[in-house]
Amino acid sequence: MSADLLALLLPLAIAVPLVAGLLSLLGPLRPHALSLLPLAPVPGLLAALLVPRHTSFEAPDLLIGVRLALDDNGAMFLAMASLLWIAAGFYARSYLRRSDHQPRFAAFWCLTLAGNLGVFLAGDVATFYAAFACVSLAAYPLIAHERSAEALRAGRVYIVLAVVGETCLLLGFMMAATSAGSLLVPEIRQALPGAPHPNLTIALLLAGFGIKAGLVPLHLWLPLAHPAAPTPASAALSGAIVKAGIYGLIQFLPEGAGPALWSDVIVAAGLVTAYSGVAVGLTQSHPKVVLAYSTISQMGVIVAVIGTSLGHDPAPGTLASASFYALHHGLAKGALFLGVGVIAASGPKVVRSVMIVMALVGLGVAGLPLTGGALAKLAIKGSFAALPLHLVTLSAVGTTLLVLRFLIVVRATAAAEPEARPEAGLLWPWLATAAFALAVPWLLFAAATGEALSYPLKPENLWSALWPVLAGGILAIVAARVMRLEPPNVPEGDLVVPLGRLTDGLVRLVATLPPLRLPIGGGWKRPGMVGDGLLKVESALTRWPAAGLVLLLFMLGAAATSGGLR
């Protein structure tokens, strides 16, 4: 295939999901809408695999000139997302078989997918923003799909934050694009440090992407939305969609040229996120919520990595390593979420084996040696200076704790009936995702880090990956068995409650703004508008003597002014 033809995969990766979404609403396909889901991301995957890097596709008539491009990082994200969406698509087919509103779910699924892949393909800021907004908004029906009170509440929090995030992004993009004088992402990124208000621009972008990526304190929606959504949607959300925020940071924050302060701020923000995600996650008892906090925590790590890239002279391949980390996390977290559904369908007979896979994947996230996660952790180490490095490494302990907490709470959700087995439609997509999470990083490690595959097998690396997991395990045992600690009860979404009150107050304040009306147009109602005095004048003038006298005086006056009395 020629490169030109291959380049067509780029628009197809977006268009096919869109078409699939549309088809799922149309008459004959409505009953089979869910069957379209696994097919829709296929062009995206093909694009990630086949399209040569730095290929671009331009459609100047669309939007304000659409440009699609694929670079290394983008391909990594695209591949991960496509894979996850395919798996989740298969999973959803089974999971939602008996659900209401299948066509609608399918449509928004595809729309979200299109946006999600579009984010990784966008070469210009308008397309990027359009795709990003598409993910943000189309995900809402997925989150609220169940229509339960929790789902709707989660949806509300989500949408408020999404809109705020979109707005921040819009502002940031406008400022960035204006200073760059271009709409192309690389040029914008390059021009950002020299923009008139770089700090404000970066802050806006950080806020916008941070909301999507669950950066504390903008993470509020995540722990609410993930459990509320149907499981395949949670997987996509946590695995792929939050990565859109990460990808945005990678794409727009100026590598190696950012204002010095920002590097530190972002690293700090990432680390705070990483730790607080763990801290709050440990207090949760709903498996999906725990996973959500785990996602928050992991995103913190990635953001911290990205933060280092802003500083002067960052380690080479920092962003690639961040992408690599994200790739693993996406697949692994996807597998974990899908697993929640699998466990729920597994009776005592099979749950043990399912738990083993889950543990493997979960501890992989914490960096268990030989898993894909270990490779990911290894890849990012080179980016950090001493103190952050220790903190990041230490965070793996927390991650371990959190994964263990997850495993404990998820185990409790296993099906009660002894013969329960997950059906194939759930099982295989899950297993496949788990396998990808464990294996794919091995395939891409060399490409992403430039290190040989033997590098992670070096003993010191194995050890540095293993000790946090061990430490976490021990800590967990000590806390649970020895100290019998019960986690405090922190509400899901932690800060949502106080912040919700704050926003309610704001809304009430807005509602009290008084109307502004000019006193126009009501006058004719009041007959008294013309003073009765005027009527008196009229009746006086109607009397001839008065009028006649005035006439006489006018005669005299007129004569006088005309010079008659000169």
Partner 1 sequence: MTASGLAALPLLELTVVLPLAGLLLALPLGHHGARATLALAPIILLVTALLCIEIMWSGAPIERVAGGWDVPLGIALRADGISGAFLLTTALVACAVAVFQAQGGQDGGATRRSTFWPLFLATWGALNAVFVSGDLFNLYVALELLTLAAVAMVAYGSTEAAMRYLLFALSGSLVFLLGVALIYAGSGTFDIGLLGSAGAGDTAMTVAAAFMTAGLLAKAALFPFHAWLPPAHGNAPTPASALLSALVVKAPFFILVRIWFDIGPETSGVLMQLLGYLGVAAILYGSLLAMRQERLKLVIAYSTVAQLGYLFLVFPLAGAAQDLPWTAGTWSGAIFHALSHALAKAALFLAAGIVIEAVGHDRLQGLAGLARDLPMTVFAFGIAAVSIMGLPPSGAFIGKYLMLTGALAGGHVFLAIVMIGGGLLAAAYLFRPLRLMLLAGETQPAKAIARRRQVVPLLLALAAVGLGIAASLPYALLQIGRSLTATEGIE
Partner 2 sequence: MSGIMPALLMLCPLVPAVLTFFLREDSHRLRNAVAIGSALLKLALIAVVLLGVAAGNEYELRIPLVPGLYMLLRVDELSLLFITLSSFLWLVTTVYAIAYLGGHENLSRFFGFFNLCVAATTGIALSGSLVTFFFFYELLTLSTWPLVVHNGDEKSLSAGRTYLAYTMGGSAALLLGIVWAEGVAGPVEFIAPLDFEDTGTLAQRLIFVLCVGGMGVKAALIPLHGWLPTAMVAPAPVSALLHAVAVVKAGAFGIIRFIHDVYGIARVEELALGLPLALIASATIIYGSVRALQQTDIKRRLAFSTVSQVSYIVLGASLAGPIAAIGGLVHLVHQGLMKVTLFFAAGALAERIEVRSVDQLDGAGRRMPLTMVAFSLAALGMIGVPPLAGFMSKWFIGVGALEAGRGWVILVLAGSSLLNAAYFLPLIYRAWFKPAPEGAVSAGAERPLALILPAVVTAISVLGAGVLAGLWISPLGWATLIVEREYLP
Partner 3 sequence: MNPALLFDVALAALAVVAALSAVAGRDLFASVAFYIVYGILIALAWMRLGAVDVALAEAAIGAGLTGVLLIGAWSQLHRKGATETPPGPSSAARLLAAGASASVAVLVAVIFVGLPADGAGLAPAVRENVAESGVSNPVTAVLLNFRAYDTLMETIVLAVALAAVWSLTRDELWGGIPGLRQHARDGGVLATFGRLLPPLGLLVGVYLVWAGSSMPGGAFQAATVLAAVWLLLVMSGAMDEPAIGSTAIRLTIVAGPALFLAYGTGGAFLGTFLGFPADVAGMLIVAIEYVLTVSIAATLALLVAGVPRRQE
CA 151, 153, 157, 163 torsion: positive or negative?
positive
Which residues in 140-150 are b (16+ Cβ under 10 Å) and which e? Answer: bbbbbbbeeee
d(CA 260, CA 272): 19
Residues 505-534, mask of contacts with partner 1 (x by CB under 8 A): ------------------xx--x-xx---x
Does residue 522 interact with partner 3 by CB under 8 A? no
Does residue 536 interact with partner 1 by CB under 8 A? no
Helix/strand/coil for 83: helix
Does residue 211 interact with partner 2 by CB under 8 A? no
- CB 534 to partner 2: min, Å: 21
Nearer to partner 1, 488 or 528 (CB): 528
- CB 543 to partner 3: min, Å: 8
Does residue 541 interact with partner 3 by CB under 8 A? no
Does residue 557 interact with partner 1 by CB under 8 A? yes
Q: Tokens standing for 142?
A: 């997925």
Nearer to partner 1, 60 or 544 (CB): 544
Residues 173-202, mask of contacts with partner 2 (x by CB under 8 A): -xx-xxx----------------xx-----
Taking the CB of residue 68, how many other CB atoms lie within 10 A of it?
A: 26
- CB 532 to partner 1: min, Å: 9
Helix/strand/coil for 66: strand
Taking the CB of residue 352, how many other CB atoms lie within 10 A of it?
A: 11
Nearer to partner 2, 23 or 134 (CB): 134
- CB 224 to partner 2: min, Å: 16
563 binds, among partner 1, partner 3, partner 2, none (CB under 5 to 8 A by kind): partner 1
Does residue 158 interact with partner 2 by CB under 8 A? no
Exactly one of 6, 19, 46, 152 binds partner 2 (CB under 8 A); that residue is: 152
CB 354 within 8 A of CB 426: no
CB 91 within 8 A of CB 97: no
Does residue 562 interact with partner 1 by CB under 8 A? yes
Name the helix (H) or strand (E) containing 68: strand 66-70
Report residue 16: phi and psi, to 5°.
-60, -45
Exactly one of 155, 254, 398, 441 binds partner 2 (CB under 8 A); that residue is: 155
536 binds, among partner 1, partner 2, partner 3, none (CB under 5 to 8 A by kind): none
- CB 496 to partner 2: min, Å: 18
- CB 518 to partner 1: min, Å: 14
Pairing type for strands 55-59 and 66-70 reads antiparallel
Residues 547-566, mask of contacts with partner 3 (x by CB under 8 A): -xx--xx-xx--x----xx-
Does residue 485 interact with partner 1 by CB under 8 A? no
Name the residue among 177, 162, 195, 87 with its Cα closest to residue 128. Answer: 177
User: Which DSSP string do the residues of 390-441 spell out, in sequence order?
Assistant: HHHHHHHHHHHHHHHHHHHHHHTTS-SSTT----HHHHHHHHHHHHHHHHHH
Helix/strand/coil for 41: coil
Angle at 12 between CA 177 and CA 440, to 5 degrees: 90
Does residue 517 interact with partner 2 by CB under 8 A? yes
d(CA 413, CA 187): 50
- CB 139 to partner 2: min, Å: 13
Name the helix (H) or strand (E) containing 141: helix 125-143
171 binds, among partner 3, partner 1, partner 2, none (CB under 5 to 8 A by kind): partner 2
Does residue 137 interact with partner 2 by CB under 8 A? yes
Q: Tokens standing for 449?
A: 């880090």
Does residue 499 interact with partner 2 by CB under 8 A? no
- CB 552 to partner 3: min, Å: 4
Does residue 561 interact with partner 1 by CB under 8 A? yes
Q: At what angle do helices 318-344 and 242-252 cross, to 10 degrees?
A: 180
510 binds, among partner 3, partner 2, partner 1, none (CB under 5 to 8 A by kind): partner 2
Nearer to partner 2, 144 or 444 (CB): 144
Q: Tokens standing for 193?
A: 């440090």
CB 222 within 8 A of CB 296: yes
545 binds, among partner 1, partner 3, partner 2, none (CB under 5 to 8 A by kind): partner 3
CB 435 within 8 A of CB 358: no
Angle at 20 between CA 15 and CA 21, to 5 degrees: 100
Does residue 54 interact with partner 2 by CB under 8 A? no
d(CA 234, CA 492): 15
CA 464, 467, 469, 475 torsion: positive or negative?
negative
Residues that bind partner 1 (CB under 8 A): 523-524, 527, 529-530, 534-535, 537-538, 541-544, 547-548, 550-551, 554-555, 557-559, 561-564, 566
Residues that bind partner 3 (CB under 8 A): 543, 545-546, 548-549, 552-553, 555-556, 559, 564-565
Residues that bind partner 2 (CB under 8 A): 59-66, 126, 129-130, 133-134, 137, 141, 144, 147, 152, 155-156, 159, 163-164, 166-168, 170-171, 174-175, 177-179, 196-197, 507, 510-511, 513, 515-518, 520-525
